[in-house]
Structure 1
Amino acid sequence: MTDHTDIVFKRHQGQAITIEGEAPARTRISLHVLVDRYAYLHMPDPQTIVFADQVVYRITGYDEGTLTLELVEDWRPAPTVQLPLTDEQAEEIKAEWKEQHGNGGVVHPVTALGEGDSGT
């Protein structure tokens, strides 16, 4: 028996629907999805379904109103991973910041107001 995992969609207000997380290798969908006017999918040929212009599935079976799908392509960009900075990189960033923003001294000179001076 083959395990099937749900595709997780996310609706973004004022933007497109996206596929969240990893696209499952195998999934199932109801035939009703194909006629849902809010479903963001298209079928470039009778055996292929493209969801949200992001993932491509091939239809591999049908059982009681449900299509069985297998992932063909995931067009989404690979997630970027921010690796921790090395000590050398951190020191370089600190040096650049000090060069651009000064030496940590007083930024603006402070002038004490004399007695009786209202400051106006």
Structure 2
Amino acid sequence: MKGNLIIGGIVLAVVGIVMGVTNPKPSAYKEYISEKLLLEGEKALCKQTEVCHDQSTPAILNPLIKRVKDKIAKPAIEKVIEETTTRQNLIFFSIYTTEISDIETIKTLGAFNYFLTYSS
């Protein structure tokens, strides 16, 4: 019984240390959420304009679309995210809340170098 308690304590301590070390940084969250928002925006644009990265899009437009996404849209989104996100660092994990005006509130849990968006 006492041996099981010691082993349980050791396992709990190891998991706690691993969680603390792998608690994702704000820069990782910014990268994660900006990619997620870009993907959602791209899906919405595809539905409205029927211009997507497939056979229906003229091949000459694909490099232009990628350049606009990488050089204009992503930096703009990252700036908004940086200005509108708060982080609750709870040592073992973090809760990120991004409030984009009256448009949307995104809540994301970060742990083990992964993110789980649970509210948007």
**TM-score category, normalised to shorter length:** under 0.3
Larger Rg: 1
Report which structure shows greater RCO (CA 8 Å, sep ≥6). 2
Give the structure with the higher percent strand: 1
TM-score of the superposed pair, with normalisation by structure 2: 0.23
